[in-house]
Amino acid sequence: MAHQHTFVMVKPDGVRKGLIGEVISRFEAKGLTLEQMRMLTIAEEMANEHYGEHAGRPFFPSLVEFITSGPVVAMEWSGEEAVSVCRTIMGVTNPVEAAPGTIRGDYALEIGENIVHGSDSPESAARELGIFFG
Ligand code: DAT
Ligand code: MG
């Protein structure tokens, strides 16, 4: 067990659906600590860097188009095992499979528009926090 920091983002669909407060409430209720937060519209260059691991995948162009399509809310959260705890609260990538009670399970139906992003490892968290808050 380790105290960790992780990067979480309300994606443009989450902002459009009015879910910023709902997303924040779930992480706060769990006992995680909000360390930093900023609202911004991601430029294409930043999107390419953030999602660099997916470059070349068939869905990459639509992923970049989507994540740059409107404002997002970028956040740093901390707490015990924060990386995996945040991923559990979010639910699995495909909302069709995400369990009820998770953010993606409760508020999304399409894999391309799944409300939130969360870092998948402490290394990804450090990289992504550097992109958005460095
Ligand atoms: P996660 O966001 O759960 O970490 P990921 O890193 O594998 O998932 O993918 C990043 C985002 O890309 C994901 O939130 C939604 C989109 N995506 C992933 N796989 C996809 C697919 N097969 N078709 C369309 N979009 C996809
Ligand atoms: Mg990912």
Q: pLDDT in tens for each of the 134 residues of the chain?
A: 899 999 999 999 999 999 999 999 999 999 999 999 999 999 999 999 999 999 999 999 999 999 999 999 999 999 999 999 999 999 999 999 999 999 999 999 999 999 999 999 999 999 999 999 99
Q: Which CATH number is 84's domain given?
A: 3.30.70.141
Question: Which pLDDT score, from 0 to 100, does residue 127 have?
Answer: 98
* Domain that includes residue 124, residue range: 3-133
Question: Which pLDDT score, from 0 to 100, does residue 50 have?
Answer: 98
Question: Which pLDDT score, from 0 to 100, does residue 114 have?
Answer: 98
Q: Pick the closest to residue 124 from 73, 89, 86, 70 (CA basis).
A: 86
CA separation for the pair 34, 46 (Å, rounded): 23
Q: State in Å: Cα 121 to ligand 2 middle.
A: 9
DSSP helix/strand/coil, 88: helix
Q: In the chain, how many domains are there?
A: 1
Query: Where does ligand 1 bind, in terms of residues with CB under 6 Å?
Result: 54, 59, 63, 93, 111-112, 114, 117, 120
